[in-house]
Amino acid sequence: MSIGQNIPHDSSRGHVTGGSVFIDDRALTQKEVFVLPVGVPAAAGLLKSIETKEALKAPGILAAFTAKDFHHNHWGTIIPEQPVLVENKIGYYDEPALILVGTSMDALLRAKSLVKFDIEKHPAILSIDEAIAKKNFIYKANPFACGDAHSALQKAPHKLSGSFECGGQEHFYLESQACIAYPMEDGQIEIHSSSQHPSETQHVVAEALGLSLHEVVCIVKRMGGGFGGKESQAAPFAAMAALVAQKMQRPARLCLSKDDDMMMTGKRHPFKNFYEVGFDDDGRILGLKAQLYADGGAYADLSSSILDRAMFHIDGAYFLPHAHIEGYVCRTNFHSNTAFRGFGGPQGTMTIESIIEDIAAYLKKDALDIRLLNCYGKNQNNVTHYGQTLTHNTLPDLFAQLKNDSEYLRRRQEIDIFNSQGTGKIRGLSVTATKFGIAFTARFLNQGNALVNVHKDGTVQVSTGATEMGQGVNTKIQQIVAHTFGVPSPDVKVMATSTEKNHNTSPTAASSGSDINGSAALQASLEIKNRLAWLYHNILIGTTMNDIAECPPVDLNQLNLADFHFHDGNVVHLPSGQNISWTELVKKAYLNRMSLGEYAHFKTEGLGFDKARSLGTPFNYFTNGVAVSEVEIDTWTGESKVLQADILMDLGRPLNPGIDRGQVTGAFVQGMGWVTSEKLFYNKEGKLLSHSPTTYKIPSIQDTPRVFNVSFIENNENHQNVHRSKAVGEPPFLLGISVWTALKNALRYKSTQRIPHIKSPATPEELLMELKQYE
Ligand code: MTE
Ligand code: LUZ
Ligand code: MOS
């Protein structure tokens, strides 16, 4: 039994001993050169010319390349509109426009300041409001409509309207964008990249260099974190390194510094959402109208899909009988915003959680009661605003159990008393939920393939399109395959991802890495297992003898698979009690000239969404969870801290509960960072000023909840996914929102005249400015 066990992450030892190899740990090869992208010092305008004469004279500088050197200078996952290097029109401040090549990073950093750009500056669009005013949109979504939101709002006894704003977020992966391109024979390129999407990296490199796809191989051993930031945006940097490898016929290494990475690459999308909500005296939501505006930055990237997911998640965990949701992606002069854990889901769900907090303040009720009242039901009120029915909905159970386990009512009373004592500190308590739709909303991405090779000694190598970024996908696939063959998990190795073994793969994203690739690996393993069972069957009945009678072709009609039990390194024929060791059977299969390798393709069944009518089943299932956060604000300084957080999740039957626990705690802390301390600062010119940890604050260990409880409910009903597990990567990120709503709740105790209104992140400044309003 390997499924459901806490076997260690396959890199845990390497990560703590330094044995794990990241891109920049790869040994330097002969003639290898270093590559440095140089960004433009303006957010908008025209790039007239670039002066590189002085820089090229500097010691250690070998070459400089510009947009003109590419066979094809544009890329883009959905719309191929983003230049690899600025050609003429500038999209954002610090956008790469030139690549310098040198013999060392030191030489490049010295020469960089010698590059001179001649730019005709234009006014830049640096806010969502400005983009709305100028109708500067990249994408307008087809509205989602269910029921009759207009009349529902007209008839509603109470109405609230307003706007909700949340900021962007830097991924802050520890390994910046990094790649090394090697020139191979006949003009081929081998690129090692820190990429969540090796296939797209391969495709962008090939196009940029004018090669066919079969002339480029992209290999990904692991990433030092991706969090969505390397889903699309690893590709243009790979193209830059590959260009140098092609032009100079030398290996080319491009590893961004943290500062360059933060300035040049996109972040989570800031959103500004307008809404009008109608509700009854109890707080039951009767109708919701909302217009979502995402800040896409300068280029399309994945923004349209991210906006779609925000619109899919505007319901949060709550039934909306009448809703009308519109969405726009604004084009601004910022770095092109991109995928980030949750992919628009957090920005949608946070809107409704904020609205519910406001409804509660307006009705002078506890927000948890409003949430319980509106929560999706098990058999009624269980159809989303896009027409997908929730099956085995665990949300009501999760809310009820968390309310009880966390002693919500007792703590609420204690907080009421604490806040009445005038200590200068105020506390707040709030529960929020996550109901995250699992599947890529673009249906074609829900497919994957796997290659399983069993070697003569019985050990196994598995290759899939999944990329390891710390989330443990390798370990989960290892467990699935080890379980299928009944071998110890150390006998299964998940190999580096390579486009030469697995083709046309989807990004490891949408939390479905182990769903899709684990399923494909299971399918391939089952084929081999059937073959081995057939062989043993033939050995037992005497039709197979080495060198005399070879095993006949597999005939599953003549085989009762349930008779064969693969377990503990043995294969037992249950009816006769006879058994053979796994390695012995594998050896016999080889001698019988049977294939010990298999390749399988998997696609998620049952998905279908009609974009024109915004109706259907975009998701395979939902991963649900709830969290309660208790916070304290110092009313003199605006500083806040999380005193306690309790999380309860439904992860089906976890493949590896230990890894999932790590995902849940990590995602929660990353989520609370987004809504509290992580603020991106730009100057008036649109240059990012908070481009390093000195000015950009992710949560530190002292910021994590003082008391932190994580538990899972038992749910054996998720038959839609491999071994009844559920995806875990992104869903718990949304639970960090409870910290923000808890801060809002705390403010309610001070604000007697109006409903507290704060933006996200709720930095000390933001909280202090709101508290000022109450004086
Ligand atoms: N966990 C770690 N340690 N590092 C990461 O980069 N990325 C998250 C999540 N958990 C990430 C992580 C994101 S954005 C996604 S989509 C999933 O992992 C992807 O992996 P999975 O589909 O295998 O869960
Ligand atoms: N990427 C993507 C994603 O291309 N489509 C999605 O639906 C998605 N969802 C979450 C994260 N990444
Ligand atoms: Mo995750 S945002 O789907 O890479």
Expressed in angstroms and rounded, the spacing between residue 229 Cα and the centre of ligand 3 is 8
- Amino acid in the structure at residue 614: S
Q: Tell me, using a 6 A CB cutoff, whether residue 78 lines ligand 2.
A: no
Q: Tell me, using a 6 A CB cutoff, whether residue 169 lines ligand 1.
A: no
**For residue 196, which ligand has an atom nearest its CA?**
3
For 385-395, the pLDDT digits (tens) are 999 999 999 99
**Atom 13, ligand 1: residue with shortest CA distance:** 227
Expressed in angstroms and rounded, the spacing between residue 441 Cα and the centre of ligand 2 is 7
List, in sequence order, every beta strand (DSSP E) within 365-503: 425-438, 447-454, 460-464, 492-494, 497-498
**Atom 4, ligand 3: residue with shortest CA distance:** 228
Two structure tokens written together for 712: 């899972």
Average pLDDT on 275-300 reads: 98
Expressed in angstroms and rounded, the spacing between residue 442 Cα and the centre of ligand 1 is 19
Expressed in angstroms and rounded, the spacing between residue 341 Cα and the centre of ligand 3 is 5
Tell me, what's the pLDDT at 158? 98
Q: How far is the CA of 536 from the CAs of 484, 592, 595, in angstroms?
A: 16, 11, 15
Cβ contacts of residue 589 below 8 Å, gap of 6+? 531, 532, 535, 551, 596
* Concatenated DSSP letters of 298-360: SS-TTHHHHHHHHHHTTTTTB--SSEEEEEEEE--SSS-----TTTTHHHHHHHHHHHHHHHH
* Residues 71, 640: Cα–Cα separation, whole Å: 52
Confidence of residue 755 (pLDDT cuts 50, 70, 90): very high
Q: Which of 172, 223, 231, 515 to mutate to test the pocket of ligand 3 (most atoms within 8 A of CB)?
A: 231
Confidence of residue 752 (pLDDT cuts 50, 70, 90): confident
- What ligand 3 atom has the least distance to the C-alpha of 729? 1
Buried residues in 44-78 as b, exposed as e (16+ CB within 10 A): bbebeebebeebeebebbbbbbbbebbeebbbbbe
Three-class HEC string of 698-712: CCCHHHCCCEEEEEE
Q: Tell me, using a 6 A CB cutoff, whether residue 509 lines ligand 2.
A: yes
- What ligand 2 atom has the least distance to the C-alpha of 440? 7
Tell me, what's the pLDDT at 544? 76
Tell me, what's the pLDDT at 64? 98
Two structure tokens written together for 75: 């890329």
Average pLDDT on 117-129 reads: 98
**For residue 173, which ligand has an atom nearest its CA?**
1
SS3 state of residue 61: strand
Taking Cα atoms as reference points, which of 700, 703, 678, 681 lies closest to residue 690?
681
Specify the pTM. Answer: 0.98
Q: Is the pLDDT of residue 545 over 80?
A: no
Tell me, what's the pLDDT at 414? 98
* Residues 681, 685: Cα–Cα separation, whole Å: 11
Average pLDDT on 47-58 reads: 98
**Atom 12, ligand 1: residue with shortest CA distance:** 471
Q: Tell me, using a 6 A CB cutoff, whether residue 340 lines ligand 3.
A: yes
Q: Tell me, using a 6 A CB cutoff, whether residue 513 lines ligand 1.
A: yes
**For residue 12, which ligand has an atom nearest its CA?**
1
Q: Tell me, using a 6 A CB cutoff, whether residue 509 lines ligand 3.
A: yes
- What ligand 3 atom has the least distance to the C-alpha of 196? 4
For 409-447, the pLDDT digits (tens) are 999 999 999 999 999 999 999 999 999 999 999 999 999
Tell me, what's the pLDDT at 708? 98
Q: What percent of the chain has pLDDT over 90?
A: 98
Q: Tell me, using a 6 A CB cutoff, whether residue 344 lines ligand 3.
A: no
Tell me, what's the pLDDT at 464? 98
Q: Tell me, using a 6 A CB cutoff, whether residue 510 lines ligand 3.
A: yes
* Concatenated DSSP letters of 415-440: HHHHHHS--SEEEEEEEEEEEEEES-
For 334-381, the pLDDT digits (tens) are 999 999 999 999 999 999 999 999 999 999 999 999 999 999 999 999
**For residue 512, which ligand has an atom nearest its CA?**
1
**Atom 11, ligand 2: residue with shortest CA distance:** 510
Q: What percent of the chain has pLDDT over 70?
A: 100
Beta partners for 275? 162, 290
Average pLDDT on 730-736 reads: 99
Q: Tell me, using a 6 A CB cutoff, whether residue 70 lines ligand 3.
A: no
Expressed in angstroms and rounded, the spacing between residue 11 Cα and the centre of ligand 1 is 15
Expressed in angstroms and rounded, the spacing between residue 546 Cα and the centre of ligand 2 is 51
For 617-657, the pLDDT digits (tens) are 999 999 999 999 999 999 999 999 999 999 999 999 999 99
Q: Tell me, using a 6 A CB cutoff, whether residue 227 lines ligand 1.
A: yes
For 240-285, the pLDDT digits (tens) are 999 999 999 999 999 999 999 999 999 999 999 999 999 999 999 9
Tell me, what's the pLDDT at 324? 98
Confidence of residue 44 (pLDDT cuts 50, 70, 90): very high
Q: Which of 464, 471, 668, 721 to mutate to test the pocket of ligand 1 (most atoms within 8 A of CB)?
A: 471
Tell me, what's the pLDDT at 402? 98
Q: What is the DSSP letter of 457?
A: T
Catalytic residue set: 730
Q: Tell me, using a 6 A CB cutoff, whether residue 729 lines ligand 1.
A: yes
**Atom 1, ligand 1: residue with shortest CA distance:** 471
For 651-673, the pLDDT digits (tens) are 999 999 999 999 999 999 999 99
**For residue 311, which ligand has an atom nearest its CA?**
2
Average pLDDT on 438-458 reads: 98
Confidence of residue 2 (pLDDT cuts 50, 70, 90): confident
Q: Which of 171, 306, 313, 441 to mutate to test the pocket of ligand 2 (most atoms within 8 A of CB)?
A: 441
For 503-516, the pLDDT digits (tens) are 999 999 999 999 99
Q: Tell me, using a 6 A CB cutoff, whether residue 473 lines ligand 1.
A: yes
Q: Tell me, using a 6 A CB cutoff, whether residue 339 lines ligand 2.
A: yes
Taking Cα atoms as reference points, which of 167, 125, 163 lies closest to residue 268?
167
**For residue 338, which ligand has an atom nearest its CA?**
3
Average pLDDT on 565-588 reads: 97
**Atom 2, ligand 2: residue with shortest CA distance:** 440
Q: Is the pLDDT of residue 398 over 90?
A: yes
Expressed in angstroms and rounded, the spacing between residue 688 Cα and the centre of ligand 3 is 23
For 136-157, the pLDDT digits (tens) are 999 999 999 999 999 999 999 9
* Residues 416, 203: Cα–Cα separation, whole Å: 59
* Residues 689, 94: Cα–Cα separation, whole Å: 11
Burial class (CB in 10 A: 0-12, 13-18, 19+), 583: middle
Q: Is the pLDDT of residue 588 over 70?
A: yes
Q: Tell me, using a 6 A CB cutoff, whether residue 343 lines ligand 3.
A: yes
Confidence of residue 1 (pLDDT cuts 50, 70, 90): low
Q: Which of 267, 269, 343, 734 to mutate to test the pocket of ligand 3 (most atoms within 8 A of CB)?
A: 343
SS3 state of residue 161: strand
For 68-105, the pLDDT digits (tens) are 999 999 999 999 999 999 999 999 999 999 999 999 99
**Atom 8, ligand 2: residue with shortest CA distance:** 510
- What ligand 1 atom has the least distance to the C-alpha of 509? 16
- What ligand 1 atom has the least distance to the C-alpha of 511? 22
Secondary structure element (H or E) that encloses residue 219, with its range: strand 216-220
Q: Tell me, using a 6 A CB cutoff, whether residue 225 lines ligand 1.
A: yes
Tell me, what's the pLDDT at 532? 97
Average pLDDT on 592-616 reads: 96
